Amino acid sequence: MNLTLKIWRQKDASSAGAIETYQVQDISPDMSFLEMLDTLNEQLNEAGQDPVAFDSDCREGICGTCALMINGQAHGPEVTTTCQLHMRSFSDGDTITIEPWRADPFPVLKDLVVDRSAFDRIIQSGGFISANTGSAPEANSVPAPRDKAMRAFNAATCIGCGACVAACPNGSASLFLGAKITHLGELPQGQPERDSRVVAMVGQHDHEGFGGCTNIGECTAACPKEIPMDVISQLNKDLRTAMKHGL
């Protein structure tokens, strides 16, 4: 298939950027979206032009690196990551607009690459449990009820890709935050730091400049891991509880 690509090009973090138009030919429907971009880059390299910078790592849907806004949808039209999106989701002759995640806490570094270290700092501020080092503890010494374990496990599938922020009209990271709060807060190991965790992580979220949630639900729809909105309710409930405890 032949496609017209409109891609955001930006030299570096301090330069202004613009949309540039490219043509690619003979794209196989079985290619992944990133392979299609690789094809474009080979073409640009041969022509002696600067290839389009974009992020990717695992290319199997587990690392969350491949952040692209495709035709106005985070990770494109399917519920999956960009690396797992295939060209069969598009048709011959399509025009595809590709932009970086747009959120001020995720500044563009070059072309389609954004700096998502804001998420790392949110995790660093409280997204952990404290455990003694030394020999590994007995696996089943702390029993976790099955429903709580399942909810924690589902929340833990969040790969930190940032699609929720990219899709949110408020630029809020509440779905990501809620996933982490629910993941750790549902398990016995997460209890000692439960109050301080939510306060520190929400404080870091706000400090980074993410917006507040208005529960409109674009985040869940964009999430490649289908994290449900009830994690945001859990986040709010945990913060309210911490407030009651005077934190």
Partner 1 sequence: MTCVATQLSNRTLVKGSRSTRSTIALKLTMAISGLVFLGYLILHMYGNLKVFAGHDAFNEYAHHLREFGAPMLPYEGLLWIVRVVLLVALVAHVWSALVLTGRARKARTAKYTVKKNIASSLSSRTMRWGGLAIFIFVVWHLLHFTIGKVNPDGGPTNDPYNLLVDSFDVWWMTVIYLLAMLALGMHLHHGTWSAAQTLGLTNTAKSRATAKRVGWVVAIVIAGGFALVPLSVLFGIVTK
Residues at the site binding ligand FES, with contacts judged by CB under 6 A: 56-59, 61-66, 81-83
**Length of the chain counted residue by residue:** 247
Tokens of 49: 């032009």
What letter represents residue 61's amino acid?
G
Cβ proximity to ligand SF4: between 40 and 184 the closer is 184
Single out the residue of 37, 69, 159, 201 in contact with ligand SF4 (rule: CB under 6 A). 159
Rounded Cα distance between 65 and 88, Å, is: 22
Among 57, 142, 203, 226, binds partner 1 (CB under 8 A): 203
Residue partners of 177: CB distance under 8 A and separation at least 6: 122, 201, 202, 205, 235
Task: Write each residue from 191 to 220 as x if it is in contact with ligand HEM (CB under 6 A), else as -, in one continuous string.
Answer: -----------------------xx-----
Locate 87 and state its tokens: 């060209």
CB 66 within 8 A of CB 114: no
Name which of partner 1, ligand FES, ligand SF4, none residue 62 binds, using a CB cut-off of 5 to 8 Å depending on partner kind: ligand FES
Residues in the interface with ligand SF4 (CB under 6 A) total 16
Which partner in ligand HEM, partner 1, ligand FES, none is near 65 (CB below 5 to 8 A by kind)? ligand FES
Q: What three-state secondary structure class fits 117? A: helix
Binding positions for ligand SF4, 161-190, rule CB under 6 A: 161-164, 175-176, 179
Distance CA 36, CA 218 (A): 27
Q: How far is the CB of 196 from ligand SF4 (least distance, A)?
A: 22
Q: How far apart are CA 203 and CA 71, in angstroms?
A: 33
Residues forming the site for ligand SF4 (CB under 6 A): 64, 158-164, 175-176, 179, 222-225, 227
